[in-house]
Structure 1
Amino acid sequence: MSADAGRVGWREVIRPEWIPSLTVMLGGILLHSMNVMLVATVLPSIVEEVGGAPLMSWAMSAFLASSIVAATCTGAVTARVGARGAFALGAAIFGVATLACALAPSMPAFVAARAVQGLGGGVLAAVSYVLVRQTFPERLWPRVFALLAGVWGISVLVGPLVGGVFASLGDWRGAFYTVAGIGIVLSLVVLRVLPRPRREASEGDRIRLPAGRVALLCAAIAAISLAAVAGGSGAKAGFIVMAIGMFAAMVAVDRRSKQPLLPSDAFSPVTMTGLAIWAALLVSVSFTAMPTYVPLFLQRLHGFDPLSAGYSVASASLSWTLTAIFVSGVSAEGQRRLIVIGPSLMAVGLTGVAVFAPSGPPPGIIASMMVVGCGMGSCWAFLAGRMMSGAREGEADIAAGAIATVQQSGFATGAALAGLAANVAGMAGGDSAEAVAAAALLTPAALACIAALGALAAFRLSLLPDRPATE
């Protein structure tokens, strides 16, 4: 990372020449992130009208799975059409698929539309990081990443609000019509607003999507999705092992390819990009306990209603946002320390959740969740920056696009691991108060151990010398 990043103020980032690009990038991230919370809010209304309650979880899983596939293939897409074209394509796919969600006559049709919507959303999320690298000098990256984190935090509030308004009016389809319109308009203005590529792609740059590696990735995602909904602990563990094996096979094949989907040193324990990927993946896995199970713990064990539980959990995302903004101007040495402090804080916060969630008091749970969010906000921007700045020659855009892949894969894996821990604690046999209390202890405790592993990877990363900054 740039040694002079700490001397960059917000005025240098929010300059007239940057504002159009920032607006488009932040709008794309907001569309993708807000959509997750919006759908969770209106799903009960959708089921009430079109049925299909057994497929409710697939409405979320299909979106996440296709998002991961699309994010992983971002390098191939940008090589074909450039980052501007890829962003416009992603926004168009997202908008049209959201319109299909609004028109869906049944839950299977809605799930299918969500899968296509995820393709567009995954491209939007991944290309945003590519555009950060292509548009801004490296010294500005932490500030821009802080703004991206701010959008994720805002989406936690805006998504349920928009979905709740339309659901209360009895018009869940209206929520999707609104989002579809925004997505389609965004796709039309992108090509005028975003900077032109530094060079046009040559014929040698044009690569085909590798069907074999994409198939392995899809199999891994399917396995992790099945792990999230499988009933027994043995089945969950089996699907998780299968997913890890499929993903490892994909990475192994990808490393031998002349046209990789991931950086050639992805998951290496000795390179900057490899260690940054490990640390980013582990902290993403650890953060998943917040939206996945803590709302259940608050409702079943402490008498929270769904809305108050949801907004209590949102405190973790908001503390992520505020911390990211606060630390975005630290010096290079400060960044080196924060990439270790962040995962360590997450481990401490998750331990606090494990202590307070079973029996309270609720303020202790909320405070612990905020510590987890502060930990994520302390390290995420600098881990993402090191994934990009440590990339090998010719792989900068691939590394930038991999940030979204790592984050979303971590969230999906974390949800499955949290479910496994909850089942081991006793929830496989039902959600009695005793089983939920046991899960409230074991689930965050298990994820605290994963956060500690993230701190170890981050410590190894902090020992590597910084590479010279690029302009």
Structure 2
Amino acid sequence: MSSVEQTVTPKSISVFSLFSPALLPATLMLGGGVALYAVEAYITATIAPSIVRDIGGLELFSWMITLFVAAGVLGSITVATRPRGVGLRTVYVAAALIFGAGNLICAIAPAIQVVLAGRAVQGFGAGMLAALAYAFIRFVYPQPLWRKASTLYAAIWGVATVLGPTLGGLFSQGSAWREAFVILVPLAGLMALSSRWLLPRVDDDRAQQKTPVLQIALLLAAVLLMSFAGTIEPISSKITLVAISMASISAMLAIERKSANRLLPQGAVMLGRPISRLYLTMFTLMMVLTSDIYIPYFLQTLHGVAPLVSGYLVALVALGWTLAAFFSASFSGKQAGVSIIVGCVLETAATASLILFLARDNPSGDLALLGPAVVAMFLMGCGVGLGWAHLVTKVIGLVDSSEQDKASAAISTVQSLGGAFGSSLAGVIVNSAGLADPGDITGSLSAATWLYALMALPGLIAIAMSLTLKPVSA
């Protein structure tokens, strides 16, 4: 038994065990990687208008997010498909350096095209860092702490939704957006340098296979098409891109099912296998959650809420995720299984309830009408937070050691896919329901009603899948 395992007993297990002297260095490195990805995504979303005002390129505005997301998916895949014999610690060094290089490119960019190149490099490194956090869990922590580490990573994403825009706001004037990228360059360099001492050296125990190039290409095409669909206005074009994206996913899954050279763990595309249902649960949870992107607009249009206040109110979704993640962190066995089910039900019900609470004409901001909508937003996040860490732990513990890198990397991939599909689908729904035409109160009421009615439906899939999952072991 290792010294770490000796210090972690069932009675001493808590999230704070991750910060014990023996585990603190690795926790800072792995949690820091997730934080860089999460916070940077929200910082750039905040400073993007300043970038195009300063150096132009409004017509390419949407690609700053699209390329980051697509490159992030490729980065997470790279962790599992890296060359044979390359250890995780070496990949971490490369990921931190790539992320730093991407920030430097953005900081010195003279034109929007260079910023886009930097965002792609940045996203690739960030995607690797996020996937590495899950890949390292089994090597850094004793098994009783896997769920706690997953809880911490989930909480970081929740905090980032508030911290990112706040930090971005500090750099949103004039050319100050360059400093938002510059400050992360030395941090990335420090993380790359420190990883040699703070992260363990682990053997590459993956099974020998070739890189599944075709599946990766189809998956990236799907992400790019879906992300782009969320940025264009014509409804027919949106629907076409979504359809092609779904066809790409279907083709990838069909190839994955028959190929011996797989991108995902064995059984991940066969609904009869538990790991497939785990990934599908995670995917649909993220799809439903991204319906929150239109909450600030509806709060301002229908309830007379000020823009700044609406931004902080929607942050309650992230707060709910974070608090629920910590609340359920100590659950195991049947408790953890119930937590996943309750979380899926809670998120779905809270989303559907916005049909009644948010899709209301309340220009005076009457608290009797607005209050229930605010509670529903908080409960949406709680639903995901209750079960996410347990789903992650189940994925990592379910596969053989030779496929655990694939399984870990797929967690970040599924999370990104769920967000991309959800945001694009939400855009198709609201525009089809009249958000822009006829617009105003009538259009907003129709759009909000249809959005939360249809976006709650994937939650029913999550509930159905969660009911088939066996209890998460302690």
**Alignment map for 1:227-238 (pairs within 5 Å):** 227-238=229-240
Q: From 176, 182, 189, give the equivalent of 1:184.
A: 189
Q: Distance in 2 between matches of 1:10 and 1:294?
A: 32
Matched-pair contact (CA < 8 Å) for 2:51–2:175: no
| 2-structure distance, mates of 1:416, 1:169 | 31
420-429 vs 207-216, which moves further: 207-216
* CA positional deviation for 1:430: 6.1
Identify which range, 92-101 or 12-21, moves more after superposition.
Answer: 12-21
Q: Which amino acid aligns with 2:453?
A: A
- Equivalent residue, structure 1, for 2:352: 351
Q: What is the one-letter code of the residue matched to 2:323? A: L
Structure 1 residue corresponding to 2:75, chosen from 70, 83, 86: 70
SS at match of 2:319: helix
Partners of 1:20 and 1:193 within 8 A in 2:
yes
2:331 aligns with 330
Matched, 1:406 2:414: yes
State the one-letter code of the partner of 1:274.
S
Contact 1:282/1:450 (8 A) holds in 2: yes
Instruction: Work out whether 1:111 is the aligned partner of 2:113.
Output: no
> Hey, what does 1:92 align to over in structure 2?
97
Distance 1:65 1:139, change over 3 A: same
Q: Secondary structure at the match of 1:288?
A: helix
The equivalent position to 1:420 in structure 2, one of 403, 428, 439, is 428
| Distance in 1 between residues matched to 2:68 and 2:407, nearest whole Å | 23
> Does 1:159 pair with 2:167?
no
TM-superposed CA distance for 1:454, in Å, is 0.7
Q: For structure 1, which segment, 294-303 or 98-107, has the greater mean C-alpha deviation from structure 2 after superposition?
A: 294-303
Q: CA deviation at 1:423?
A: 1.7
Describe the superposition over 1:65-119 as per-residue Cα deviations: whole angstroms up to 9, x where unpaired: 1111221232112745221111221111111101111111112221121111111
Is 1:216–1:247's contact at 8 Å kept on the other side of the alignment? yes
Shift of 1:456: 0.7
Q: How far apart, in 2, do the equivalents of 1:345 and 1:131 lie?
A: 31
Among all aligned residue pairs of Structure 1 and Structure 2, give the percentage whose two residues are the same amino acid. Answer: 31
1:293 maps to a residue whose letter is: Y
Equivalent position amino acid for 1:400 in 2: S
Aligned with 1:441 (options 429, 449, 464)? 449
Please give the TM-score of this superposition, normalised by the length of structure 2: 0.91
Q: Which residue of structure 1 aligns with residue 282 of structure 2?
A: 280
1:113-160 deviations in Å (ceiling 9; x for gaps): 111111111111111110112222222112111111221122122211
Contact 2:299 2:358 in 1 (8 A): yes
1:247-304 superposed Cα distances (whole Å, 9 cap, x missing partner):
22223323444442211211322222111001010001111011x2111112222233
CA–CA distance in structure 2, aligned partners of residues 264 and 238 of structure 1: 31
Shift of 1:7: 7.4
Amino acid at match of 1:374: C
Match of 1:298 in 2: 299
Following superposition, the deviation at residue 41 of structure 1 comes to 1.2
1:44-64 Cα offsets, whole Å, 9 max, x none, are: 111111111121111111101
2:404 and 2:322 mapped to 1: Cα distance? 26
Q: In structure 1, what is the Cα distance between the partners aligned to 2:61 and 2:425? A: 20
- In the alignment, residue 131 of structure 2 is paired with which amino acid? A
| Residue of structure 2 equivalent to 1:342 | 343
Match of 2:38 in 1: 33
Give the corresponding residue for 2:6: none
Q: How does 1:9-24 map to 2 (within 5 A)?
A: 9-10=14-15, 12-24=17-29
Are the counterparts in 2 of residues 29 and 151 from structure 1 also a CA contact under 8 Å?
yes
Q: Secondary structure at the match of 1:266?
A: coil
Which residue matches 1:320? 321
Runs of 4+ in 1 over 6 A off after TM superposition: 4-7
* Distance (whole Å) between structure 1 residues aligned to residue 105 and residue 210 of structure 2: 28
Give the drift of 1:208: 5.2
Moved more, 251-260 or 36-45: 251-260
Instruction: Kindly indicate whether the alpha-carbon contact (under 8 Å) linking 1:78 and 1:86 is maintained by their aligned counterparts in 2.
Output: no
Task: Report which stretch shifted further, 156-165 or 364-373.
Answer: 156-165
Ranked by relative contact order (alpha carbons within 8 Å, sequence separation 6 or more), the top structure is 1
Decide whether the 8 Å contact of 1:349 with 1:369 is kept in 2: yes
Tell me the SS of whatever aligns to 1:427.
Answer: coil
Q: Distance in 2 between matches of 1:140 and 1:56?
A: 41
Tell me if the contact between 2:257 and 2:270 (Cα under 8 Å) persists in the aligned partners.
no
Query: How far apart, in 2, do the equivalents of 1:351 and 1:357 lie?
Result: 10
Separation in 1, partners of 2:56, 2:11: 54
Distance 1:364 1:200, change over 3 A: closer
Query: Which aligned pairs between 1:253-264 and structure 2 lie closer than 5 A?
Result: 253-264=255-266
Q: What's the secondary structure of 1:8's corresponding residue?
A: coil
The one-letter code sitting in structure 2 at the alignment partner of 1:32 is Y
Alignment of 1:131-170 (within 5 A): 131-168=136-173
Q: Secondary structure at the match of 2:316?
A: helix
- Higher mean Cα deviation, 225-234 or 268-277? 225-234
Q: Distance in 2 between the 1:365 and 1:115 partners?
A: 37
Aligned to 2:391: 383
Structure 2 CA distance for aligned equivalents of residues 170 and 164 of structure 1: 13
How far off is 1:185 after superposition? 1.8
Distance 1:5 1:289, change over 3 A: farther
Equivalents in 2 of 1:165, 1:192: separation in Å? 34
Alpha-carbon distance in 1 for matches of 2:150, 2:396: 12
Paired position in structure 2 for 1:364: 372
The alignment status of 1:309 with 2:310, answered yes or no, reads yes
Tell me which amino acid in the other structure corresponds to 1:91: A
Distance 1:171 1:355 in 2: 42
Contact 1:6–1:330 (8 Å) recurs in 2: no
Shift of the alpha carbon at 1:465? 6.1
What residue is the counterpart of 2:66 in the other structure? 61
Aligned residues: 459
**Partner SS for 1:395:** helix
After the TM superposition, which of the residue ranges 53-62 and 392-401 deviates more from structure 2?
392-401
Matching residue's letter, 1:245: A
Using structure 1 for the length normalisation, give the TM-score: 0.92
- Structure 1 vs Structure 2 CA RMSD: 2.1
User: Residues 7 and 446 of structure 1: is their aligned pair in 2 closer, same or farther, counting only changes over 3 Å?
Assistant: farther
- Conserved 8 A contact 1:133-1:400: no
Contact 1:225 1:412 in 2 (8 A): yes
SS state of the match for residue 183, structure 2? helix
Specify which of 124, 127, 131 is matched with residue 129 of structure 2. Answer: 124
Q: Contact conserved, 1:82 with 1:201, CA < 8 A, in 2?
A: no
CA contact (8 A) 1:6 1:329 kept: no
Give the superposition deviation at 1:314.
0.8
Q: CA contact under 8 A between 1:88 and 1:188: conserved in structure 2?
A: yes
The question of whether the paired residues in 1 share the 8 Å contact of 2:282 and 2:388 is answered with yes
Structure 1 position 349, deviation (Å): 0.8
